[in-house]
């Protein structure tokens, strides 16, 4: 039996999406560095291959002991296309199938925790599971492990997402705007801010059934870890604490140390230090292109790891960007209705668009995946036209880059609302996958945010303030930042509850056995 620091074991269970895997891996690295505990990440076979290569691709001077264990999963058994285990590879109508299929991981996860418990002579110190895996709370309880739900979203976005799914407040009013339990009366939400599946949810449809069950179960955790910063999201975290009623530790941003200018042991480049996704352009070529442009002059456009816009929106966006006269990097993938992993066709953009902007060095059109961290941390990047996925939002704000919001699905519209209303760092250009977007509006908003006007200057200033708060939160040394303290506090709490949780588990087992 192993002993010493390695004896303590943390088991992690990320949801199968890029936007979840990336922060989970970053969290695993931080816990390993701070504690030396053994860490096991459990996931499906294809995601395990991806995670293992992401871990080994970052050449660190210290060796890692993070272990990735496969939970058996065959996508075809669940009616999913063969070899698809990640939202990224899935057409939208299959996403719910993946969610449902992910619930079947419970028995093999239980076996894994059981094996670890036998091997180490005690249950894992802690199970850190995605909030979408509420079923894992029961597994933790059976073994007496501390359990936290990890939300890879922000405080405000998570609070709104959970409260909306659990309470469906829009079903109790005909009004277009309404309040959401956990948020003050003055904070009104709009029907148009709800993801289409939530807007039509009645509590019995497949989306409601899965989300309401998993989120409800997740609230039985010992607490939540949240990828955000206390000082930046005071209001959102207050709402999250009110909605969940359990401790919340804001431990973000979970980004590579070098991206935050922290001392680090990684010597590979930023993007490949966290993911082995194949880039549509080599990071060094992207940096070279950016070097050519003046500070703050480039607009970066991306809709995250799994979303895309429709053909009409793509045309209007292209025309608006071209008319704005601003330099840009645009990560393009086939529009809605076409194979997202298929070839990109020139006809989806205005005639001669790519040739014109490439020749004049006005634009860089990148296929599928870009080195986002290199782009956002480059001084030439002045604004980010984003779908407001939380990782992208936080990455932009870490670098003081203001946002032009075009939220599409999930909790993205709440992030956009929060960044616009609470922080003043975002202007929403469009909302939702079906929004009508005109090129003139694209041009107007780009000018508003990147031009010389007061609004643009104010947004830039507020984004820089956010960046300062974010960097202060991850400070090491004499004056520990709030996120570092929160991570230590969470680990300390897990340690101090160890015996209490084990005793409770023993009592539960005894009751179950009829003693
Ligand atoms: N990302 C990237 N290059 C791309 C697209 C996305 O590196 O071309 C990364 C991005 O930096 C972020 C993650 O993928 O860390 C996307 O997460 P987010 O929460 O923003 O959106 P999601 O993909 O989950 O909708």
Q: What is the ipTM of this complex?
A: 0.99
List CB contacts of 10: < 8 A, sequence separation 6 or more. Answer: 28, 31, 37, 38, 39, 40, 124, 125, 126, 127, 128
Contact in structure between 46 and 169 (CB atoms under 8 Å): no
Specify whether 339 is located in the same domain as 233.
no
Helices 482-496, 18-35: axis angle to 10 degrees equals 70
Q: What is the mean pLDDT of residues 378-404?
A: 98
User: Residue 211: inside a domain, yes or no?
Assistant: no
Q: In this structure, is residue 17 part of a structural domain?
A: yes
Q: How far is CA 84 from CA 44, 77, 114, 423, in A?
A: 10, 11, 28, 38
Ligand 1 atom, smallest distance to 410 CA: 25
This model's pTM is above 0.90:
yes
Q: Are residues 486 and 466 in the same domain?
A: no
% residues pLDDT > 90 (the chain): 85
Residue 189 lies in a domain: no
Regarding whether 500 and 366 lie in a shared domain, the answer is no
Q: How many domains, in total, are found in the chain?
A: 2
Q: Ligand 1 centroid vs 393 CA: distance in angstroms?
A: 9
Query: Mean pLDDT over all residues of the chain?
Result: 93
Query: Is 405 within 8 Å of 429 (Cβ atoms)?
Result: yes
Would you state the pLDDT for residue 135? 98
Residues 39 and 104 in one domain: yes
Pairing of strands 177-178, 189-190: antiparallel
Å from CA of 2 to ligand 1 middle: 38
Is residue 1's pLDDT more than 50? no
Separation of alpha carbons 109 and 100, rounded Å: 16
Taking the centre of ligand 1 as the mean of its atom positions, its distance from the CA of residue 42, in whole angstroms, is 21
CA of 391 to the centre of ligand 1 (A): 6
Lowest mean pLDDT among 125-129, 254-258, 482-486: 254-258
Q: Tell the residue nearest (CA) to atom 2 of ligand 1.
A: 372
Q: Is 441 in the same domain as 302? A: yes
**Residue 294 shares a structural domain with residue 322:** yes
Give residue 4's pLDDT: 47
Residues within 6 Å of ligand 1 by CB = 17-19, 22, 271, 302, 304-307, 331, 369-370, 372, 389-392, 395
Q: Tell me, yes or no, whether 263 lies in a domain.
A: no
- Is the same domain home to 457 and 503? no
29 vs 248: CA distance, rounded Å: 20
Q: At residue 88, does pLDDT exceed 90?
A: no
- Taken as a whole, the chain contains a residue count of 515
What pLDDT is attached to residue 513? Answer: 82
Q: Once rounded to an integer, what is the mean pLDDT over residues 63-80?
A: 94
Residues 114 and 225 in one domain: yes
On whether both 440 and 463 belong to a single domain, the answer is yes
Cα separation, 438 vs 450, whole angstroms: 18
- Ligand 1 centroid to residue 395 C-alpha, Å: 9
**375: in domain:** yes
Rounded Cα distance between 106 and 112, Å, is 10
Q: Is residue 67 part of a domain?
A: yes
pLDDT exceeding 70 applies to what percent of the chain? 97
User: Looking at the structure, do residues 148 and 13 belong to the same domain, yes or no?
Assistant: yes
- Ligand 1 atom nearest to CA at 20: 24
Q: Is residue 183 part of a domain?
A: no
> Which pLDDT score is estimated for 260?
93
59 — pLDDT class (breaks 50, 70, 90): low
Containing structural domain, residue 308:
280-471
Q: Which two tokens stand for residue 328?
A: 């840009």
Residues 377, 484 within the same domain:
no
Task: Give the pLDDT of residue 500.
Answer: 82
Q: Do 463 and 486 fall into the same domain?
A: no
Give the nearest ligand 1 atom to 22 CA: 15
Q: Any idea what the CATH number is for the domain that residue 78 is in? A: 3.40.50.2000
Q: What is the DSSP string of 107-173?
A: HHHHHHHHHHHHHHSS--SEEEEETT-TTHHHHHHHHT-EEEEEESS-HHHHHHHHHHHHH-GGGG-
C-alpha 319/C-alpha 315 separation (Å) is 6
Q: Residue 178 falls within a domain, yes or no?
A: no
């Amino acid at each position: 039996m192993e002993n010493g620091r390695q004896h303590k074991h943390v088991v992690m269970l990320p949801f199968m999406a890029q936007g979840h895997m990336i922060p989970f891996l970053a969290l695993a690295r931080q816990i390993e560095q701070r504690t030396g505990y053994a860490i096991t990440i459990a996931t499906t076979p294809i995601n395990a291959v991806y995670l293992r290569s992401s871990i080994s691709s970052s050449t660190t001077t210290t060796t890692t002991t993070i272990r990735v264990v496969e939970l058996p999963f065959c996508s075809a058994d669940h009616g999913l296309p063969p070899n698809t285990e990640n939202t990224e590879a899935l057409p939208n109508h299959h996403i719910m199938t993946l969610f449902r299929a992910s619930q079947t991981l419970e028995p093999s996860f239980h076996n894994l925790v059981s094996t670890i418990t036998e091997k180490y002579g005690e249950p894992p110190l802690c199970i850190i599971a995605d909030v979408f895996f509420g079923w894992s709370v029961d597994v933790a309880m059976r073994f007496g492990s501390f359990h936290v739900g990890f939300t890879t979203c922000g405080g405000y976005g998570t609070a709104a997402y959970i409260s909306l799914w659990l309470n469906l407040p829009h079903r109790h009013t005909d009004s277009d705007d309404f309040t959401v339990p956990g948020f003050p009366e003055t904070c009104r939400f709009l029907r148009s801010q709800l993801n289409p599946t939530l807007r039509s949810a009645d509590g019995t449809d497949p989306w409601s059934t899965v989300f309401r069950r998993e989120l409800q179960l997740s609230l039985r955790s010992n607490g939540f870890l949240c990828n955000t910063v206390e000082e930046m999201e005071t209001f959102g975290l207050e709402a999250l604490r009110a909605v969940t009623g359990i401790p919340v530790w804001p431990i973000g941003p979970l980004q590579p140390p070098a991206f935050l200018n922290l001392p680090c042991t990684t010597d590979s480049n930023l993007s490949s230090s966290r993911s082995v996704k194949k880039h549509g352009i080599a990071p060094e070529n992207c940096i070279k292109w950016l070097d050519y442009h003046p500070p703050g002059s480039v607009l970066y456009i991306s809709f995250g790891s799994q979303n895309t816009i429709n053909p009409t929106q793509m045309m209007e966006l292209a025309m608006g960007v071209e008319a704005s006269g601003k330099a840009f990097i645009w990560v393009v993938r086939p529009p809605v209705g076409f194979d997202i992993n298929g070839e990109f066709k020139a006809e989806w953009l205005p005639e001669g668009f790519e040739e014109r902007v490439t020749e004049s060095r006005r634009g860089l059109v990148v296929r599928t995946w870009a080195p986002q961290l290199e782009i956002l941390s480059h001084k030439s990047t002045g604004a980010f036209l984003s779908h407001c996925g939380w990782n992208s939002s936080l990455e932009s704000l870490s670098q003081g880059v203001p946002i032009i919001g075009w939220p599409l699905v999930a909790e993205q519209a709440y992030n956009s609302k929060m960044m616009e209303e609470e922080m003043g760092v975002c202007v929403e250009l469009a909302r939702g996958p079906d929004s009508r977007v005109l090129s003139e509006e694209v041009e107007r908003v780009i000018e508003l945010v990147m031009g010389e006007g007061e609004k643009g200057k104010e947004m830039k200033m507020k984004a820089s303030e956010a960046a300062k708060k974010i960097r202060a939160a991850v400070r090491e040394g004499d004056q520990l930042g709030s996120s570092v303290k929160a991570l230590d506090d969470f680990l300390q709490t897990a340690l101090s509850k160890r015996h209490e949780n084990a005793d409770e588990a023993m009592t539960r087992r005894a009751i179950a056995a009829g003693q």
